Amino acid sequence: MSISQIILELFKGLLVSVQIFAITLLFSLPFGLAVALGRMSKNSTISSITKVYISIMRGTPLMLQLFVVYYGPYYLFNIKLNPTYRNMAVYIGFIINYAAYFAEIYRSGIQSMPVGQYEAAEILGYNKSQTFFSIIMPQVIKRILPSVTNEVITLVKDTSLAFSISVMEMFTKAKALSSSQTSMTPLIVAGVFYYVFNFIVACIMEKAEKKLDYYK
């Protein structure tokens, strides 16, 4: 197989990796914020549930979580699922895992805000919702963006874990091609693709940080 054919095959896998990446971010970022607010809730039940959830998600391997999401319905409840559920299981596994990490990042940013910010907003007549979304969150986003960037870059590489439940993303295709061709070339090309993917993501996140430089 020529290098151009290898690149074409891996590009198909890259599209799957990008899809996993995009869907995970799209849902885990807002879900993570909801979890963070639950974690800081004055309701002890909600706070305890979210604390346990975060602990489990951060304390167990993502690969294990993918196994549980994919095989769990059958082994635990004897529910037979369509083979197409494989992709959905990947999305669910990644979203609930990364939401836990983003939740702690949000929480650290929100709790780092001075109490004076809230008091000043109250004096100006802002209600709690207006204070949080108009005053607090823009500053929180600026503070947590470097930490979010690290998680986003990690996510790019973690998409390769989808191979554990046989989703044909780029790393899975690279392994299969490398085995059939008895060559390291597909893995090297995949490594280049991952690097370029990460480089693009890092550049985008750096531009986002610069755009928020007015929050000092």
Dihedral pair phi/psi, residue 149, rounded to 5°? -60, -45
CATH number at residue 91: 1.10.3720.10
How would residue 214 be classed by pLDDT, with cut points 50, 70 and 90?
low
Pure H helices in 40-136: 44-59, 62-77, 85-111, 115-123, 128-130
Number of domains composing the chain: 1
- Please count the other Cβ atoms lying within 10 Å of the Cβ belonging to residue 29: 18
Distance (Å, whole) CA 80 – CA 71: 10
- Cβ(113)–Cβ(36) under 8 Å? no
pLDDT per position as a tens digit, 9-41: 898 889 999 999 999 999 999 999 999 999 999
- Residue 212 domain-assigned (yes or no): no
- Residue 144 domain-assigned (yes or no): yes
- Residue 31 domain-assigned (yes or no): yes
How would residue 158 be classed by pLDDT, with cut points 50, 70 and 90?
very high
Return the pLDDT at 216: 52
- Residue 215 domain-assigned (yes or no): no
Return the pLDDT at 132: 86
Coil, strand or helix at 155: helix
Copy the structure tokens of residue 10.
């891996």
- Residue 198 domain-assigned (yes or no): no
Return the pLDDT at 115: 84
Mean pLDDT of the chain, nearest integer? 89
Q: State which residues form the domain around 138.
A: 19-167
- Residue 48 domain-assigned (yes or no): yes
Instruction: Record the pTM.
Output: 0.90
